[in-house]
């Protein structure tokens, strides 16, 4: 079945079955591979993308529910908050294996868009759905604080 | 991934045209210089525009090796760090062997340890020929030529590397190139240089195997056996035929699963749900976890192998001891659960295939795939890409997911590119777990609180027996990976006996980040804490008495222990309800001590702070070392807190992250890492952070609550974490 999807600022057409998770539309049909598959049950956050500006788990978001909402992936994310988050991640060398980090970054952008000056507790609450088996959590916390500081200044 | 260009680059490999200086080992194993088509195995490539590429014989799975190996070459060449590129080496054991393994592979925390001199020499050999080529071009002595920020200089003359590579390629570097003095290091030991992958992994451009797409590729998933030892009788795919995109389903020749093909990952997963299968369970594991633990425990009445000491002498000493401590530990099977589920792509070529894989053992994979497909090994090329974590899982003696992919590729006719994808459920169910272990420890103490005897019995499934590594890792029936960190403990224990029995089960076992040390670190350090308490002594002081400094290892172990106590304000009283625990362990040549500080609220525990001290010899990248300790601490704590693979009637109880819950950001407070300055040879860093973390937490819980847990995970003991 053909669906139109607004992805990273352009409208594309994809031929997938109803019930296909947005994750697999993005990865297999649109060839945008920065968004990762980790669990398929919205338990790890590796597949986090923005739908109309809000972080969602794309493995549990279905193509027919996306409609004309704007889907943004790690490849298309931009703006002040996104830039500062990515810069902070680079400055503090947050990544290890890196596989979960697209999702971490998409969530962190969501957090800072809602809460520009998060406390450690705010960060822990918001980021708890994003698992990192390399346990880069301490640096994720530090990078979010750094991005927050740079956005203020 | 831009497949076309990446494939072209890959196939081109070292045969790239255009001006190129290559520094690599010649057939005599000596560093030599040459042009692109020289028969050298390149470690260093310099192109006509002067750009430097370091060839990585080790995989990057997060542990920072791509940064470390590159640092070693860049240091000797004085190049600008940000401009150096990296490339993974092809599979070639003759050229890219791990010098500590004798095969091409990454593991055992050996990447830097085995490459330290080799990669520095490669850089120094390149420097030698570049400097001499520049000197000859300028008609001056090589001693007048220097390199600054990647440019050759002499007085007012200056050139980039590319300008002299043609001349440099004709020169022969000395057999032992002159290396920099440690005091001249600019990059080695520099905390400010960034990881080589810090940008590509923050903008979605880093390529993992799951990101590889080949034109015409089909997607395969496997319906795996429901129990270890089960064999496929038959399957019914009729329901799958109504799923759009479903292509076919075929039994694997091993009868351990069914390969299901579709035009997308999702359609393949849906088709799998629609397929039913009958299994022969006559040789299958049918026990539940309690039974397995009891069976393993029963093996310890009479251990099969005497690993260390004379048990009768120790038992006698313990019988006469003033105090006796008897402890049983039960540690569960554990899955590695790397973030990227196992997957790979098999792409046909004119003469064979390319395996696109986050490949931890390239030459093993090459051999396995060649055998399955009936190809010459040289016609199986391995394109190594980033691995989304491994913790040991991707390196296994049967290359399980790669061989599945090769079988699936072959069953489909061997002409169509196949991407094999595991779901998280496959990963949790597929085995190669950290083996279940039962330890029984009896410690005798005299009336002064000194240890007089330590009888230690271990039952665990052998990781190495029955694999190609058996000859190397098993001696007199004893699998070193079951006893390491115990039988060879650095503590000076007057009378110690260690016995071992192999627990037999079809459940497959594998090295899990820090291997045997992940078990023995817990057992040794929790027992040590209990012994200190029995002796009425401070846990640090008690340990230090057993580390009198008679060997260099004892000195280093005592040093990190003392430093950790100092940095953690060990003797300073904590608020009410708080506790702290300490542990120290040597693994992979490195010494790590950790102090875990917790607060409690009833049975709820919060990890407030972890203080770590690491001595891993000379440090190449201090920030990577810190990151690896942070990572090891998190990996070890998360597992001790709530991870287990358990069985009910032979079937695994867990299936995905909701019931194999990984450590979360809210679980862990601050981790402070301190490093010992050292000029000793660099030793491991990817794993040594793991062993002390679990016992330090267990000891902290005992300190705060008086509750002593020896059956893991902690969550099975009425303890929850907030």
pLDDT tens, position by position, B430-474: 999 999 999 999 999 999 999 999 999 999 999 999 998 898 899
Quote the mean pLDDT of chain B. Answer: 95
Low-confidence ranges of chain A (pLDDT < 70): none
Q: Are residues B254 and B325 in the same domain?
A: no
State the pLDDT at residue B37.
60
Average confidence (pLDDT) over B202-230: 98
SS3 state of residue B670: strand
**Quick check: is B304 in a domain?**
yes
Between chains, do A33 and B657 touch, taking CB under 8 Å as contact? no
Across the interface, of B202, B337, B663, the residue whose CB is closest to A95 is B202
Residues A63 and A119 in one domain: no
Distance from CA of A95 to the nearest CA of B (A): 6
pLDDT band at B704 (very low <50, low <70, confident <90, very high): very high
What was the pLDDT predicted at B20? 87
Same domain, A33 and A61: yes
Q: Is residue B684 situated within a structural domain?
A: yes
Max distance between CA atoms of chain B, in angstroms, equals 83
Q: Which two tokens stand for residue A115?
A: 């809460």
Q: Which of A33, A49, A72 is at the close of a domain?
A: A72
Question: Quick one: B618 and B643 in the same domain?
Answer: yes
Shared domain check, A62 and A92: no
**How are strands ordered across the β-sheet holding B437-445?**
B305-308, B496-502, B451-460, B437-445, B323-331
Q: What is the mean pLDDT of residues B647-675?
A: 97
Pairwise CA distance, residues B443 & B528, whole Å:
9
The domain containing residue A14 runs over which residues? Answer: 2-72
How confident is the model at residue B39, as a pLDDT?
A: 59
| Same-domain pairing of A85 and A137 | yes
The DSSP code for B90 is P
Question: Chain A partners of B690 at a C-beta cutoff of 8 Å?
Answer: none
A84 and A62, same domain (yes or no): no
- Tens of pLDDT, residue by residue over B103-125, are 889 988 899 999 999 999 999 99
pLDDT at B496 over 70: yes
Judge: B62–A105 Cβ closer than 8 Å, yes or no: no
C-alpha B626/C-alpha B609 separation (Å) is 15
Would you say residue B89 has pLDDT above 70?
Answer: yes
Give the integer Cα–Cα distance in Å for B357 and B91. 11
Q: CA–CA separation, B426 vs B221, rounded Å?
A: 9
Q: Are residues A13 and A49 in the same domain?
A: yes
For A46, the closest of B197, B339, B666 (CB atoms) is: B339
Identify whether B240 is part of a domain. Answer: yes
Q: Do B202 and A73 touch (CB under 8 A)?
A: no
- Output the DSSP codes for B175-217: SSPPPPPGGG-SSTT-TTPPPTTTTTTTTT---BGGG---TT-
DSSP single-letter state for residue B715 = G
Output the pLDDT for position B101: 84
B364 domain residue, yes or no: yes
- Asked which of B421, B444, B471 is the last residue of a domain, the reply is B421
**Does B705 score more than 80 pLDDT?**
yes
Inter-chain CB proximity B339 and A74 less than 8 Å: no
| B155 and B34 together in one domain | yes
For residue B124, tell me if it sits in a domain. Answer: yes
Cβ pairs A/B, distance under 8 A = 181
In a domain, B191, yes or no: no
What pLDDT does B8 receive?
40
Q: Is B60 helix (H, G, I), strand (E, B) or coil?
A: coil
Q: How would residue B38 be classed by pLDDT, with cut points 50, 70 and 90?
A: low
What separation in angstroms does the CA of B290 have from each of B457, B646, B648, B654? 19, 9, 9, 16
pLDDT (0 to 100) of residue B7: 43
Same domain, A142 and A89: yes
Q: Is residue B200 part of a domain?
A: no
- A29: closest chain B residue by CA: B264
Residue to test with chain A: of B71, B192, B203, B343, most A Cβ within 10 A: B203
Residues whose CB is less than 8 angstroms from the CB of residue B509 and which lie 6 or more positions away in sequence, other chains included: B333, B432, B433, B434, B435, B461, B462, B463
Q: What is the mean pLDDT of chain A?
A: 98
Q: Is the per-residue pLDDT at B717 higher than 90?
A: yes
pLDDT bucket at B36, cuts 50 / 70 / 90: confident
Could you list the residue range(s) of the whole structural domain that residue B412 is in? 209-282+342-421
Residues A59 and A95 occupy one common structural domain: no
Band (pLDDT 50/70/90 cuts) for residue B340 is very high
Question: For B339, which of A24, A29, A100 is closest by C-beta distance?
Answer: A100
Do A62 and A122 lie in one domain? The reply is: no
Using the 3D structure, point to which of A72, A97, A118 is the last residue of a domain.
A72
Backbone φ and ψ for B146, nearest 5 degrees, come out as: -120, 170
Task: Collect all residues with Cβ–Cβ distance below 8 Å to A116 and sequence separation of at least 6.
Answer: A148, A151, A152
Q: B707 vs A128, B329, B602, B603, B699, CA distance in Å?
A: 28, 15, 12, 10, 9
Does B627 share its domain with B694?
A: yes
CATH number of the domain to which A122 belongs: 1.10.150.120
- SS3 per residue for B421-471: ECCHHHHHHCCCEECCEEEEEEEEECCCCCEEEEEEEEEECCCCCCCCCHH
Q: Indicate the residue of B64, B200, B423 with minimum beta-carbon distance to A40.
A: B423
Over the stretch B43-59, which tens digit does the pLDDT of each residue have?
999 999 999 999 999 99
Q: Both A101 and A141 in a single domain?
A: yes
CA distance B308 to B237: 55
- Check residue B2 and give its pLDDT: 39
**Residues from chain A contacting residue B609 (CB–CB below 8 Å):** none
For residue B468, what pLDDT is reported? 87
- Asked if B542 contacts B535 with a C-beta cutoff of 8 angstroms, the reply is yes
Q: Which residue of B has its CA nearest to A139?
A: B627
Nearest to B455 by CA among B584, B558, B303, B331: B303
Quick one: closest CA in A to B209, which residue?
A33
> Is residue B38 packed enough to be buried (19+ CB in 10 Å), middle (13-18) or exposed (0-12)?
middle
User: What ranges in A1-136 are assigned the alpha helix state H?
Assistant: 22-24, 63-66, 80-91, 101-114, 120-127
Alpha-carbon distance of B223 to B272, in angstroms, equals: 6
Indicate if the alpha-carbon torsion angle B472, B478, B479, B485 is positive or negative: negative
Nearest to A40 among B195, B338, B424 (CB): B424
A31 and A95 in a single domain? The answer is no
Model pLDDT for residues B673-694, shown as the tens digit of each residue: 999 999 999 999 999 999 999 9
Counted domains in chain B? 3
Q: What distance in Å separates residue B617's CA from the closest CA in chain A? A: 22
| Last residue in a domain, options B168, B184, B200 | B184
Residues B555 and B485 in one domain: yes
CB B608, CB B599: distance < 8 Å: yes
CATH number at residue A66: 3.10.20.30
What CATH number is given to the structural domain containing B77? 3.30.365.10
Last residue of a domain, one of B393, B421, B449: B421
Q: Do B538 and B649 lie in a common domain?
A: yes
Asked whether residue B535 falls in the same domain as residue B662, the answer is yes
Contact A130 B665 (CB under 8 A): yes
- Reduced to 3 states (helix: H, G, I; strand: E, B; else coil), residue B593 is strand
* Lowest pLDDT segment from A124-128, B28-32, B227-231, B513-517: B28-32
One domain, residues A86 and A50: no
Q: Does the pLDDT of residue B6 top 50, yes or no?
A: no
Task: Give residue-wise pLDDT tens across range B155-191.
Answer: 999 999 999 999 999 999 998 999 999 999 999 999 9
Give whole-number Cα distances, B199 to A34, A78, B206, in Å.
13, 15, 8
DSSP result, A59-79: GGSBHHHHTTPEEE-TTT--S
SS3 call for A94: coil
In 3D space, the residue among B260, B427, B420 whose CA is nearest the CA of residue B356 turns out to be: B420
B668/A123 touch (CB, cutoff 8 Å), yes or no:
no
H or E element in which residue B133 lies: helix B111-138
Relative to beta strand B353-357, strand B343-348 is antiparallel
Name the domain boundary from A51, A72, A93. A72
User: Are both B352 and B483 inside the same structural domain?
Assistant: no
ipTM, 2 decimals? 0.98
B134 and B41 both lie in a single domain:
yes
In chain A, the number of structural domains is: 2
Q: Is B142 helix (H, G, I), strand (E, B) or coil?
A: helix
Contact (CB<8Å) B389/A46: no
Q: Which residues pair with B148 in a beta bridge?
A: B151
Task: Scan residues 215-274 of B and list those with Cβ closer than 8 Å to A.
Answer: 219, 244-245, 264-267, 269
Q: For residues B653 and B659, what is the distance between their CA atoms, to the nearest angstrom?
A: 8
Percent of chain B having pLDDT more than 90? 90
**Residue B25: what pLDDT?**
83
If asked whether residues B327 and B349 sit together in one domain, one would say no
Q: Are residues B521 and B604 in the same domain?
A: yes
Same structural domain for residues B634 and B656?
yes
Please check whether residue B204 lies inside any domain of the structure: no
Dump strand ranges (E) for B72-140: 85-88
Other Cβ atoms closer than 10 A to B279: 18
Radius of gyration of chain B (CA): 27
């Amino acid at each position: 079945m053909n669906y139109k999807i607004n992805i990273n600022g352009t409208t594309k057409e994809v031929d997938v079955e109803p019930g296909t998770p947005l994750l697999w539309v993005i990865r297999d049909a649109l060839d945008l591979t920065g968004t990762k598959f980790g669990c398929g049950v919205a338990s790890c956050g590796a597949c986090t993308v923005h739908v109309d500006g809000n972080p969602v788990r794309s493995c549990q978001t279905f193509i027919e529910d996306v409609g004309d909402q704007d889907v943004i992936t790690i490849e298309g994310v931009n703006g002040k908050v996104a830039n500062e988050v990515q810069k902070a991640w680079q400055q503090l060398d947050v990544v290890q294996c890196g596989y979960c980090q697209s999702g971490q970054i998409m969530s962190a952008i969501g957090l800072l868009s809602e809460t520009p000056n998060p406390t450690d507790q705010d960060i822990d609450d918001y980021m708890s759905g994003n698992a990192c088996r390399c346990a880069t959590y301490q640096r994720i916390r530090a990078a979010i604080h750094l991005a927050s500081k740079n956005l203020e200044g | 991934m831009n497949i076309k260009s990446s494939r072209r680059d890959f196939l081109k490999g070292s045969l790239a045209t255009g001006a190129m200086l290559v520094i690599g080992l010649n057939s005599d194993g000596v560093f030599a210089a040459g042009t692109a088509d020289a028969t050298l195995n390149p470690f260093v490539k310099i192109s006509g525009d002067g750009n430097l590429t370091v060839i990585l014989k080790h995989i990057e799975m997060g542990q920072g090796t791509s940064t470390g190996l590159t640092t070693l070459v860049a240091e000797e060449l004085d190049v600008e760090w940000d401009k150096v590129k990296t490339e993974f080496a092809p599979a070639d054991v003759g050229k890219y062997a791990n010098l500590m393994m004798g095969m091409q592979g990454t593991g055992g925390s050996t990447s830097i340890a085995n490459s330290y001199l080799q990669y520095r020499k490669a850089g120094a050999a390149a420097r030698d020929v570049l400097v001499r080529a520049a000197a000859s071009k300028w008609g001056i002595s090589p001693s007048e030529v220097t390199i600054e920020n990647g440019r050759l200089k002499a007085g007012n003359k200056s050139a980039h590397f590319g300008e002299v590579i043609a001349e440099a390629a004709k020169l022969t570097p000395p057999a032992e190139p002159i290396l920099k003095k440690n005091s001249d290091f600019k990059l080695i030991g520099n905390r400010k240089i960034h990881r080589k992958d810090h940008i590509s992994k923050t903008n979605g451009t880093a390529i993992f195997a799951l990101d590889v797409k080949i034109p015409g590729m089909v997607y395969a998933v496997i319906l795996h056996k429901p129990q270890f030892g089960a064999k496929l009788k038959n399957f019914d795919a009729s329901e799958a035929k109504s799923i759009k995109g479903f292509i076919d389903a075929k039994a694997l020749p091993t009868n351990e699963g069914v390969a299901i093909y579709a035009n997308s990952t999702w359609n393949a997963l849906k088709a799998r749900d629609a397929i039913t299968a009958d299994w022969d369970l006559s040789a299958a594991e049918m026990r539940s976890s309690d039974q397995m633990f009891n069976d393993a425990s029963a093996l310890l009445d009479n251990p099969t192998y005497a690993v260390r000491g004379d048990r009768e002498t120790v038992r006698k000493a313990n019988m006469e001891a003033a105090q006796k401590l008897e402890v049983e530990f039960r540690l569960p099977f554990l899955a590695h659960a790397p973030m990227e589920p196992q997957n790979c792509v098999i792409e046909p070529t004119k003469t064979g295939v390319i395996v696109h894989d986050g490949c931890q053992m390239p030459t093993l994979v090459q051999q396995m795939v060649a055998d399955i497909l009936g190809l010459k090994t040289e016609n199986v090329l391995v394109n190594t890409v980033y691995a989304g974590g491994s913790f040991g899982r991707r390196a296994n003696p049967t290359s399980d997911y790669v061989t599945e992919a090769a079988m699936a590729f072959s069953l489909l006719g061997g002409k169509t590119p196949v991407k094999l994808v595991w779901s998280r459920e496959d990963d949790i169910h597929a085995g190669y777990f950290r083996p279940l272990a039962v330890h029984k420890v009896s410690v005798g103490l005299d009336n002064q609180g000194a240890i007089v005897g330590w009888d230690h019995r271990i039952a665990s499934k052998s990781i190495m027996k029955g694999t190609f590594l058996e000859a190397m890792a098993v001696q007199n029936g004893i699998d070193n990976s079951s006893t390491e960190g115990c039988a060879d403990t650095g503590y000076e224990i007057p009378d110690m006996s260690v016995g071992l029995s192999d627990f037999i089960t079809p459940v497959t076992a594998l090295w899990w980040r820090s291997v045997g040390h992940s078990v023995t670190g817990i057992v040794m350090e929790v027992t040590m804490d209990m012994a200190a308490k029995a002796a009425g002594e401070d846990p640090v002081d008690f340990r230090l008495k057993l580390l009198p400094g008679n060997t260099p290892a004892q000195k280093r172990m005592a040093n990190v222990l003392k430093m950790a106590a100092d940095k953690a304000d060990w003797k300073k009283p904590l608020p009410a309800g708080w506790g702290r625990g300490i542990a120290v362990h040597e693994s992979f040549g490195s010494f790590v001590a950790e102090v875990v500080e917790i607060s409690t609220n009833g049975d709820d525990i919060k990890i407030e702070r972890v203080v770590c001290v690491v001595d891993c010899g000379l440090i190449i990248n201090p920030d990577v070392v810190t990151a690896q300790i942070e990572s090891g601490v998190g990996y070890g704590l998360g597992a001790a807190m709530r991870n287990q693979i358990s069985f009910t009637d032979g079937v695994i109880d867990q299936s995905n992250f909701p019931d194999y819950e990984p450590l979360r950001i809210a679980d862990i407070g601050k981790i402070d890492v301190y490093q010992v300055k050292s000029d000793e040879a660099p030793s491991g860093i990817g794993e040594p952070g793991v062993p002390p973390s679990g016992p330090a937490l267990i000891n902290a819980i005992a300190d705060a609550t008086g509750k002593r847990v020896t059956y893991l995970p902690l969550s099975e003991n009425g303890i929850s974490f907030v």
